Amino acid sequence: MKDEVVKNLAAVFHREFGYKPGFTARAPGRVNLIGEHTDYNGCPVLPMALEQCFTAVFAPRPAGAGNGSRVSVVNTDSRFPGLTFIAENPVPPYETGSWGNYVKAGVQTILSYGAAAGKDCQAGCGFEAVITSSLPAAAGLSSSSALVVLSGLMAMASLGLSVPKDTLAKLFADGERYVGTQGGGMDQAVCMLSEAGKALKIEFNPFSAEPVNMPRGYSVVVMDSTVKAEKTRAAMDRYNIRTIECRLGTAVLKAAFSRRYGREVKLGLLGDMTSQNLGIPEEEIIPFAVDALSDSAYSLSGAAALLGTGTGRLAEEYCRRRDGSVLPEPPGGFKLMQRVLHVLTEWKRVEDSVSFLSAGDAAGFGVLMNGSHESCRRLFEISCPELDTLIALALEEGALGARLTGAGFGGCAVALVMDGDLPAFLSAVGRRYYGEYLKRTDGNVSRFLFICRPGRGAGTSVL
């Protein structure tokens, strides 16, 4: 038996299902060091997997025995009631916001892959599992993607499929759209592909992943603002509006480029805005984009007129939710220039971060983290007063850099701190943010404020 957690899960499994589980699975959360809202634009990110993770013990349901495609999952956290469903392709989702949809997303991913590969999945990709998590939920540490990956890995093992890890990273990224978020591929890729002790630079255009050393003598501290970044419809809409703004911005830029140069440029993603693809010098790209886009917000009808299409058609093409309804136009309009400028500058900050970290220059990286937060706050507008306060306090207390991490709108921030400063840093931020600012009276803040080490990627093994 591997460790205490697995041993306890196995005992619960035995109590619930009356026999011993044969396998264990784990899938880590992540903290993004830099590169926010760049992934779905085809631009790179630099996250690291956490040691905090989802852990499961499970057993495939024997094919043919009753119902070989039945999935039953018990969560040790009683806020998430146990669930049972039939894994038949396609798996109908629970209502939006239900935690079970992340389990279904993982299972559906494997069912779709299996079906495309000509595997008879109906015979039984079912399993019984007990799962637990050491990750805070809705804190922006990607517990939801970890759950998708965990569930998919259990379905895969139950089917006896073997799929390369980088293929799985991409499959789970697409598969998670099942829950309704138009996410990029960062969370699933870092969860699948990380090496212990290293961060991971992930490129999406085309896909690749490369481990990056972290500088010695410094630690990454996660600081939970405690503002819940829930996966409700409203929160999904806010995230999805950013993806729409980036896609619309790209379309307007493509039209502007084509007009200016009298030729059609290939511009499907902001990540296509390379010197090579556009045929202009690197340093002209950002000024061109800023010049081509208005700094006033665009209405849907205004963007449609610019793109030579109808408002209804544009809404249909860009603003449809997964459930078929159309996302309403944001009251202040679509801020295309600001969103594009964030993504293009953030892309450069990721590239520079990799250079600084590889050279062991923690201070240089810290400056880029601060620049990233400023851009997330001012241009991408995904921060909130609590995150800004927490980050300002972290910098006052000696962090070399600090920024929000993940989708934003609440959740966690991340700071880089010199090892020797850690005890004073943790105690000062704990006292000033959680005690004085949030006025929490329970002195123990270790579940909100903790050091994290780069963990290893997800996997399954025989018990």
Instruction: For residue 438, give both structure tokens.
Output: 């949030």
Question: Could you say which of 106, 152, 180, 183 contacts ligand GLA (CB under 6 A)?
Answer: 183
**DSSP secondary structure code for residue 263 in this structure:** S
Q: Which is nearer to ligand GLA, 406 or 457 (CB)?
A: 406
Q: Which is nearer to ligand GLA, 37 or 373 (CB)?
A: 37
Instruction: For residue 131, give both structure tokens.
Output: 């799962």
Q: Which of 3, 120, 166, 187 is the catalytic position?
A: 187
8: enclosing H helix or E strand: helix 4-17
CA distance 187 to 152: 14
Q: Which is nearer to ligand GLA, 88 or 230 (CB)?
A: 230
- Write down the residue that tokens 């109906």 correspond to: 122
Q: Is 187 in the site for ligand GLA (CB under 6 A)?
A: yes
Nearest approach in angstroms of CB 181 to ligand GLA is 6
Question: Could you say which of 10, 31, 33, 37 contacts ligand GLA (CB under 6 A)?
Answer: 37
Q: Is 401 in the site for ligand GLA (CB under 6 A)?
A: no
Question: Could you say which of 42, 152, 406, 455 contacts ligand GLA (CB under 6 A)?
Answer: 406
Q: Is 377 in the site for ligand GLA (CB under 6 A)?
A: no
Size of the site for ligand GLA (CB under 6 A): 12
CA distance 330 to 296: 14
- Write down the residue that tokens 């965990």 correspond to: 150
Q: Is 40 in the site for ligand GLA (CB under 6 A)?
A: yes
Kind of pairing, strands 127-133 and 70-75? Answer: parallel
Q: Quick one: CA torsion of 328, 331, 337, 340, rounded to 10 degrees?
A: -50
Tell me the β-bridge partners of 42: none
CA distance 87 to 108: 7
Helices (H), 194-280: 233-261, 275-278
Q: Which is nearer to ligand GLA, 37 or 254 (CB)?
A: 37
Q: Which is nearer to ligand GLA, 129 or 200 (CB)?
A: 200
Region of 57-65, 94-102, 181-189, 348-356 interacting with ligand GLA (CB under 6 A) = 181-189
Question: Could you say which of 100, 184, 366, 430 contacts ligand GLA (CB under 6 A)?
Answer: 184
Question: Both ends of the chain: CA-CA distance in Å?
Answer: 6
Region of 29-37, 68-76, 102-110, 371-379 interacting with ligand GLA (CB under 6 A) = 29-37
Is residue 187 flagged as an active site residue?
yes
CA distance 102 to 146: 9
- Write down the residue that tokens 């991408």 correspond to: 380
Q: Is 143 strand, coil or helix? A: helix
Q: Is 36 in the site for ligand GLA (CB under 6 A)?
A: yes
Q: Is 128 in the site for ligand GLA (CB under 6 A)?
A: no
Nearest approach in angstroms of CB 32 to ligand GLA is 6
Residues that bind ligand GLA (CB under 6 A): 32, 36-37, 39-40, 142, 183-184, 186-187, 406-407
Residues annotated catalytic, as ranges? 187
